[in-house]
């Protein structure tokens, strides 16, 4: 057995042993009760609507609801429908931005997409008048320009690079929901309009139709709420998946993703989210929200009932409570409430 195989098997043994220890630890930590109570509190809430502008998304069950937290050292706390698969949609955008940064470097990427919040809806047909760039990689325009930057020798190779990246973050092989992909493709006229507007200004290349397909593919990747929390924990752990030990992104770019998630991740709710909750986050019309407390934890919610801005109703409620209760706001100071760390400490149950 070669050295690398020896080290790989040693490190995977280390990770599976850690995994087991973490499962034992998390089994008796107060956070388990906290998430269970939050899940019970918001399960009955049926505000909002399931997205239907992409017809296949309307198949989602409005009762689906999950909350998962994965710590930067790999402890997992999960409640509700955390194994229920759904399409990642816009939650994919910061991670694809990360791959574009690795492919081209920060300054080259910023020539094609800005980092300014728009205050507009996610699918607004607007570009920055001064630079003709899409405002940021979290809105559809910026995400399509980002997809256009993904390298590959051909289209299948570009799709493979995307799915391999998401598999590193999730710690398992991810697949694409072809029915949602086809549904996006057939109804994607607005995204095509945005794509061709950017072609007109040279913000994307001649292969824009191929890049639009790639964008529809990335949005149609199937994940569950557990996966999203592991993806968040990977960013909280400086780019290394805490469950598998595999690096998913160069550590130098983690701050780029967290910065645009913090300023633009929740679209025309981003300002209020940053003010009230203050944790870098990203939502998607499939009902997922992932948020990251750097160095500590990745937290995800899944509930397909959306508010008029395309963000999950139940998800926002859960994050509001968690942030207020444990002082998770990134600018929190002099917090005297319960510490999140105490929530992770195992307590002897009588």
Residue nearest to ligand DON (CB): 90
In whole angstroms, the minimum distance from the beta carbon of 299 to ligand DON comes to: 17
Decide: 81 and 225 in contact? Cβ < 8 Å.
yes
Q: How far is the CB of 90 from ligand DON (least distance, A)?
A: 3
Residue from 42, 77, 93, 112 carrying the catalytic annotation? 93
Distance of closest approach, residue 236 Cβ to ligand DON, in angstroms: 22
C-alpha–C-alpha distance, residues 133 and 130, integer Å = 8
Residue 53 among the catalytic residues: no
CA distance 47 to 192: 31
Evaluate whether 246 touches 168 at the Cβ level (below 8 Å).
Answer: yes
What backbone torsions phi and psi does residue 290 show, to the nearest 5 degrees? -120, 135
Distance separating alpha carbons of residues 196 and 201, to the nearest angstrom? 9
68 in active site? no
Nearer to ligand DON (CB atom), residue 94 or residue 284: 284
- Cβ closest to ligand DON, residue 13 vs residue 209: 209
Q: Which is nearer to ligand DON, 31 or 91 (CB)?
A: 91
Active site (annotated) includes residue 269:
no
Least Å distance, CB 314 to ligand DON, is: 14
Q: Is position 14 annotated as part of the catalytic site?
A: no
Active site residue 215: yes
Burial class (CB in 10 A: 0-12, 13-18, 19+), 158: buried
Q: Rule CB under 6 A: which residues touch ligand DON?
A: 89-90, 122-123, 140, 184, 191, 219, 283-285, 310
Whole-angstrom distance, CA of residue 20 vs CA of residue 14? 10
CB 28 within 8 A of CB 346: yes
Among 42, 169, 215, 269, the active-site one is: 215
Q: Which residues are catalytic?
A: 90, 93, 215, 267, 285
């Amino acid at each position: 057995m070669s050295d690398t195989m020896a080290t790989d098997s040693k490190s995977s043994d280390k990770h599976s042993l850690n995994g087991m220890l973490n499962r034992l630890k998390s089994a008796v930590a107060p956070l388990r009760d906290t998430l269970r109570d939050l899940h019970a509190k918001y399960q009955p809430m049926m505000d909002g609507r399931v997205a239907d502008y992409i017809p296949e998304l309307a198949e989602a069950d409005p009762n689906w609801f999950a909350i998962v937290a994965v710590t930067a050292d790999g402890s997992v706390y999960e409640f509700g429908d955390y194994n229920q698969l759904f399409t990642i949609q816009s939650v994919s955008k910061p991670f694809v931005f990360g791959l574009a940064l690795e492919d081209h470097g920060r300054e080259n990427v910023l020539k094609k997409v800005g980092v300014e919040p728009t205050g507009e809806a996610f699918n607004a047909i607007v570009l920055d008048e001064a630079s003709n760039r899409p405002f940021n990689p979290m809105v559809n325009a910026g995400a399509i320009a980002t997809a256009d930057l993904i390298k590959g020798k051909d289209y299948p190779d570009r799709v493979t690079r995307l799915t391999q990246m998401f598999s590193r973050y999730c710690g398992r092989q991810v697949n694409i929901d072809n029915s949602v992909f086809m549904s996006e493709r057939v109804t994607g006229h607005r995204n095509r309009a945005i794509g061709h507007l950017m072609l007109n200004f040279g913000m994307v290349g001649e292969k824009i139709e191929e890049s639009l397909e790639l964008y529809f593919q990335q949005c149609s990747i199937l994940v569950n709420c557990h996966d999203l929390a592991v993806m968040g924990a990977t960013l909280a752990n400086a780019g290394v998946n805490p469950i598998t030990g595999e690096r998913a992104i160069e550590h130098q770019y983690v701050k780029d993703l967290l910065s645009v998630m913090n300023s633009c991740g929740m679209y025309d709710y981003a300002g209020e989210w940053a003010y009230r909750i203050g944790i870098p986050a990203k939502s998607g019309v499939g009902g997922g929200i992932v948020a990251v407390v750097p160095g500590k934890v990745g937290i995800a919610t899944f509930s397909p009932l959306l508010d008029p801005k395309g963000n999950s109703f139940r998800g926002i409620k859960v994050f509001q409570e968690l942030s207020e209760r444990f002082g998770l706001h990134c600018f929190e100071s002099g917090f005297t409430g319960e510490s999140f760390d105490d929530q992770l400490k195992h307590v002897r149950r009588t």
